[in-house]
Chains A and B, each alone.
Chain A
Amino acid sequence: MGLITPDKFLQFAKKIMSVKSASEEECRSAVSRAYYSLYHETLQIMISRYSLDLIVNIEKVKKKTLSNSERAKLNSLDPDFLKQFNLHQIIFDTLFNMKYRAVAMTYKNFRIQRNQADYDLKMNLSYNDADVVVKNIDVLVSAIKSL
Chain B
Amino acid sequence: MAFSEENSSLASSFEKGELEKVGVASASIELGIGQKATQVIRNEGEFFDLFRSHEPILGLSKVEGVFTSAVTLNDYPVRPTASPRYEISRAAEDFISRQKKSVKYKKEIFTVADRTVEFLGKKGIFANVLISLFVDPEYTNWIEPRIRIEVQKEALQKAYEVFTELLDYSFTDVSNKTLKKLVVTVNSTQ
A102 to chain B: which residues have CB within 8 Å? Answer: 163-164, 167-168
Q: Which of A118-133 contact B (CB under 8 A)?
A: 119, 123-124, 126, 128-129, 132
Instruction: Find chain B residues with CB under 8 A from A86 CB.
Output: 139, 141-142
Complex-state Cα separation, A105 to B185, whole angstroms: 9
Q: Contact: B188 with A129, CB < 8 Å? A: yes
In the docked arrangement, what's the CA distance between A88 and B141, Å? Answer: 12
Interface residues of B in 174-188 (CB under 8 A from A): 179-180, 183-188
**Inter-subunit contact B171/A101 (CB<8 Å):** yes
B residues within 8 A CB of A113? 185, 187
* Residue in A89, A93, A101 whose CB lies within 8 Å of B167: A101
Among A88, A109, A132, contact of B157 (Cβ-Cβ < 8 Å): A132
Knowing A96-B179, A112-B134 touch, does A132 contact B142 (C-beta < 8 A)? no
6 cross-chain CB contacts under 8 A: A89-B139, A101-B171, A102-B164, A106-B164, A108-B183, A109-B183
Chain B residues in contact with chain A, CB under 8 A?
A: 134, 136-139, 141-142, 146, 153, 156-157, 160, 163-164, 167-168, 171, 179-180, 183-188, 190
